[in-house]
Chain A
Amino acid sequence: QKEVEQDPGPLSVPEGAIVSLNCTYSNSAFQYFMWYRQYSRKGPELLMYTYSSGNKEDGRFTAQVDKSSKYISLFIRDSQPSDSATYLCAMRGFQKLVFGTGTRLLVSP
């Protein structure tokens, strides 16, 4: 079993839709949770960084962590074509960062 599971997609939505991206994990030692956005042939860009359970909002993005269920989510409101990218979840305890496989999101105009 992988430490971090993420549906690779692709996930196709129309412009303006609410997007929900999710990851599950198995290592209870993970405390820091991140979402990165990666455009094709570019390095990942940090979108959200959260510690422990709860919600964090930044503009159109909301990150949600449920440590009891070992489940994290990223919500994108009013999705735009420019949001089309691969979204990687990442998490760690005190050791190396572990990435999900990434979900490819396609937002059509």
Chain B
Amino acid sequence: GAVVSQHPSWVICKSGTSVKIECRSLDFQATTMFWYRQFPKQSLMLMATSNEGSKATYEQGVEKDKFLINHASLTLSTLTVTSAHPEDSSFYICSAGNMGANEKLFFGSGTQLSVL
């Protein structure tokens, strides 16, 4: 399957700082990337849909000013958690695909964020 690279795999930061997570599609061009959040023993919760060259679409309840998403090219999307707080500690996962109706999605390896 296609390769989606996500970095960093884990990050620890102090409360109030910002953290940037990168998601890259290595062997295909991704017109659409998705950002998910996952709490322990729970399923993936879609945060936002990112289309190359346009503003991200956020799911209800997700603060767009807190979770900044940029999809500047067909191979890179970034999620920046601004002014992080302990409640933002979670596992963040990106996925990428070309959103024709029958396209598959491939996931990055995830980023564990711990905010102290």
Interface of A, secondary structure class, is loop
Binding stretch for chain A, among B70-78, B80-88, B99-107? B99-107
A54 within 8 A of B: no
Query: How big is chain B's contact interface, by range?
Result: 20 to 34
B62 CB to closest chain A CB (Å) equals 13
Please tell me which stretch of A14-22, A66-74, A91-99 contacts chain B, meaning at least 4 of its Cβ atoms lie within 8 angstroms of it: A91-99
Most buried by B among A31, A43, A51, A96: A43
Residues of B within 8 A of A49 (CB): 104
Which residues of B in the span 89-116 have a Cβ within 8 Å of any Cβ on A? 91, 93, 95, 101-102, 104-110, 112
Q: Would you call B41 and A44 a contact (CB within 8 A)?
A: no
B1 in the interface (beta carbon within 8 A): yes
Determine the distance from Cα of A100 to Cα of B43 in the docked complex, in whole angstroms.
7
A43 near B102 (CB under 8 angstroms)? Answer: no
Judge whether A60 is part of the interface by a CB distance below 8 angstroms: no
Given A41-B110, A41-B112, A46:B43 Cβ within 8 A? no
Are A44 and B93 in touch, CB under 8 angstroms?
A: yes
Contact with B along A17-60 (1 / 0, CB 8 A): 00000000000000110101000011111100101000000000
Q: How many residues of A contact B (CB 8 A)?
A: 22
Q: Is residue B6 within 8 Å, beta carbon to beta carbon, of the partner chain?
A: yes
Can you report 29 residue pairs joining A to B where beta carbons are below 8 Å apart?
A8-B41, A32-B102, A36-B107, A41-B91, A41-B112, A42-B110, A43-B4, A43-B93, A43-B95, A43-B107, A43-B108, A43-B109, A44-B44, A44-B107, A45-B1, A45-B107, A46-B1, A46-B104, A46-B105, A46-B106, A49-B104, A88-B44, A96-B34, A96-B46, A97-B34, A99-B43, A99-B44, A101-B43, A104-B41
